[in-house]
Structure 1
Amino acid sequence: MTRRLVLTNEAARHPLRRSLPPPVVAAAKNDDQDVKLFFLSFAAFFTCFYSFIF
């Protein structure tokens, strides 16, 4: 049994998707960035909303 040099995604059924490389599972990265962005956005919205009210 010979295999090609480029690994294919054997779970894909469509020929075009089968020719693409298998999906890369994203490594668990630091989600602290998302939390910081959420709080920054919340603070900016609160500041703008509060300044328009008063």
Structure 2
Amino acid sequence: MIEGLSGTGADGAIAHHIAKLHNGAIHADNTGKGKGAIFSVKLLLLESVASY
């Protein structure tokens, strides 16, 4: 389940899965019944990339 919102349907399940795959977090805010939701996703940012 996504923090802050239950019953987000397929959109919420997909967003949650993507966030978990990337060691991230997701939060959803309900804008009112029948008006949808706002999803916020936090992902880690790499400071450096190994050069070849």
Normalised by the length of structure 2, the TM-score is 0.29
Structure with the largest fraction of helix: 1
Q: Which has the larger radius of gyration?
A: 1
Structure with the largest fraction of strand: 2
Higher RCO (CA 8 Å, separation ≥ 6 residues): 2
